[in-house]
Structure 1
């Protein structure tokens, strides 16, 4: 069974076996939670959460699965897992407790947001990094989202790309990526 479109014999895509193994594990974990919700036993079924989805990586190979199609499916899976966790938490603790929890997580993002533009992250260790102006522009949108309810989605944060520039005008990529992962988690929790 073909799960996703192929990148083609001359193109590169995600390793089919790795993708299929991950989605089989995801399906087994989902079905186990369905049995558990119905009062059954989880057994030895694997567990899976949104962090597992966010952390998964596949090798690029010739004639693999088209990366954009797999990435879109991973995004949907991550959102579904966050939604399920939110429902479970609200059922156990109430809506206000969930909102308080998300507000606490959102406040951990603020220290960087209030720093001056160009100083929100450290410069890269190497010669190049993300364009600080482009990153700051996205973070300004995040501030507007938190402070004024401006439009911004987790998908926009997740798919944001930044030009690479020389060290003097750049932020370290790993730090920016980790920060945006936390911001995505907060936005997903309220979408």
Structure 2
């Protein structure tokens, strides 16, 4: 359901707002999530549920007329995720040593590499339902080949390319199952964000 942003929010907003008749992200939901994330990151929230980089990466907001610009919020969420990944890396190294972090990265890369090495057209399962929405196989395989070069040959690929990847839609067994591809790319983003330094750090 699409809601409408109240005028009071339009004069005191953290992000650029879309036009009153355009659809953006629900302002209240974005503000609440970011406040929770900020409080947890700064250690001022010791009672609430822990927030991880995965929570930031998978957060979603309802559509709202006149809401926050999705482009602006998504860019901010990417930066916040990078900060959380860096914090998680530092905490792991501090508690278990750099070797533990390297082992974690190596294990994740090994799992991802195994699927990336599968032949084109066979990297992910096909939907069980004939009319289910799916991703075009060729589009997904193109990105997978680029990821394999990134992981094995130190290829140049920005984590934002993976975050913003869009695949043409397909139907049923003509494409890859969306949920499996999305879950795999989540792990890829986690790995890339852990390896690549945060700008300015």
Correspondences of 1:95-134 after superposition (within 5 Å): 95-124=98-127, 125-127=129-131, 128-134=133-139
Q: Secondary structure at the match of 1:61?
A: strand
Q: Does residue 83 of structure 2 align to residue 80 of structure 1?
A: yes
Q: Does residue 150 of structure 2 align to residue 145 of structure 1?
A: yes
Q: Which moved more, 1:117-126 or 1:74-83?
A: 117-126
Q: Does residue 22 of structure 2 align to residue 5 of structure 1?
A: no
Query: Structure 1: which 5+ residue stretches go unaligned?
Result: 36-41
Q: How many residues align?
A: 183
Runs of 4+, deviation exceeding 2 Å: 42-47, 91-97, 124-128, 165-169
Distance 1:93 1:2, change over 3 A: same
How far apart, CA to CA, are the structure 1 residues paired with 2:46 and 2:105? 31
| TM superposition score normalised by structure 1 | 0.89
Deviations 1:47-90 (CA, angstroms, capped at 9, x unpaired) = 31112112211110100100111111111111100001111222
1:30 Cα offset (Å) = 1.7
How far apart, CA to CA, are the structure 1 residues paired with 2:176 and 2:107? 26
Query: Structure 2: which 5+ residue stretches go unaligned?
Result: 1-11, 197-201
- Please give the root-mean-square deviation of Cα atoms over the aligned residues, in Å: 1.6
| TM superposition score normalised by structure 2 | 0.85
1:39 corresponds to: none
2:53 corresponds to: 50
